[in-house]
Amino acid sequence: CSDAKPVTVPEIRAAKGERKLCMVTAYDYPSARIADQAGVDMILVGDSLAMVVLGQQDTLGVTMEDMLHHTLAASRGRSRALLVGDMPFLSYQADVAEAVRNAGRFLAQGRANAVKLEGGKAYAPHVAAMVGAGIPVVGHVGLTPQYFNTLGGFKTQGRSAASARAMLEDAKALEEAGAFAMVLEAVPEETAALITRELTIPTIGIGAGNVTDGQVLVLHDLLGLFDRFVPKFVKQYAQIGPAMVDALQSYCDEVRSGAFPAPEHTFRLPPEERDKLA
């Protein structure tokens, strides 16, 4: 993997209609390394960090400092995948200038290649300013978890023809502002199909059916490392959490029985030094 060419923003754009894009979250050096070795196209340091790594109840409390700390760690673990930093709550909403500065910090201090932000056409000016500053942007419409208080919970979005069309308008405004890809979260397949058909940039679905140009999942969900709840749209490809508990139980059992450490894990004095100690 280390000699593979890094994935670029133009390559992600050009993938539309050619090949499906594979994206996954990662939040630190080992997880980014694993994702990169698996050959994903894009790694997202998601603000889902708040929930799956920091144990918070929602994503609202995660800070720029938290995100930059983890983005920089993840950047050290990947060599090929495009690294996208997720703009946390209140890092971009207040005004365009602050949004550009914070987005820039993801590239300059987090060593990301791009940022992602939640929200519709109200953020087109923010996206345009970021792109103008040389910061590639991924949009995110549908269920936008930073807005759960406004949305009334974590609900599927775009469930009527009218709301599907409104979501399409949002997505188009972000595309026109210069976004190079669009996450669609928790929307009916028909809504995702409409947006995927109408946009010229790739759509990346999570809970958006099989019609999008790519997929994204939270690493801890797909590996079975997060057991608080499993959304309907998650497929668990492994049960790493229980496997880790098993391994640690074996370790504790062997410590308590004295089976670990064995001679092969143990340093010894040379015989002549051992004799002097006797």
Q: What is the footprint of ligand KIV within residues 188-207 (CB under 6 A)?
A: 206
Question: Is residue 66 involved in binding ligand KIV (CB under 6 A)?
Answer: no
What minimum distance in Å lies between the beta carbon of 35 and Na ion?
A: 16
Judged by CB under 6 A, the residue of 16, 25, 114, 115 near ligand KIV is 25
Token pair belonging to 106:
């993801």
Q: Examine residue 99 and tell whether it contacts ligand KIV (CB under 6 A).
A: no
Query: CB of 22: closest distance to ligand KIV in angstroms?
Result: 13
Give the nearer residue to ligand KIV in terms of CB position, either 9 or 249.
Answer: 9
Distance CA 57, CA 61 (A): 9
- For residue 206, the partner it binds in ligand KIV, Na ion, none, with Cβ less than 5 to 8 A by kind, is ligand KIV
Q: Are 116 and 86 in contact (CB under 8 A)?
A: yes
Q: Do 216 and 35 meet the contact criterion of CB atoms below 8 Å apart?
A: no
Tell me if residue 175 is catalytic: no
Region from 43-51, 69-77, 100-108, 246-254 binding ligand KIV, contact rule CB under 6 A: 43-51
28 binds Na ion (CB under 5 A): no
- β-bridge mates for residue 44, sequence order: 25, 84
Q: Nearest-CB residue to ligand KIV? A: 46
SS3 label, residue 30: helix
The answer to whether 46 contacts Na ion (rule: CB under 5 A) is yes
Q: Considering 98, 185, 189, 273, which one is annotated as catalytic?
A: 185
User: Which residues touch 164 (CB under 8 Å, ≥6 apart)?
Assistant: 158, 187, 188, 190, 191, 194, 195
Question: Between residues 58 and 190, which has the closer beta carbon with respect to Na ion?
Answer: 58
**Shortest Å, Cβ 112 to Na ion:** 14
How many residues does this entry show for the chain? 278
108: three-class secondary structure by DSSP: helix
Q: What is the DSSP string of 215-251?
A: EEE-HHHHTT---S---TT------HHHHHHHHHHHH
> Residue 100 Cβ, how far from ligand KIV at the closest point, in Å?
20
For residue 165, count other CB atoms closer than 10 A to its CB.
15
C-alpha 96: how far from chain center: 24
114 binds ligand KIV (CB under 6 A): no
Least CB distance to Na ion at residue 141 (A): 12
**CA separation for the pair 221, 180 (Å, rounded):** 26
Kindly identify the residues of this chain, within the stretch 215-234, that bind ligand KIV according to CB under 6 A: 216, 218
Residues that bind Na ion (CB under 5 A): 46-47, 86
Residues that bind ligand KIV (CB under 6 A): 25, 44, 46-48, 86, 183, 185, 206, 216, 218
Q: State the catalytic residues.
A: 185
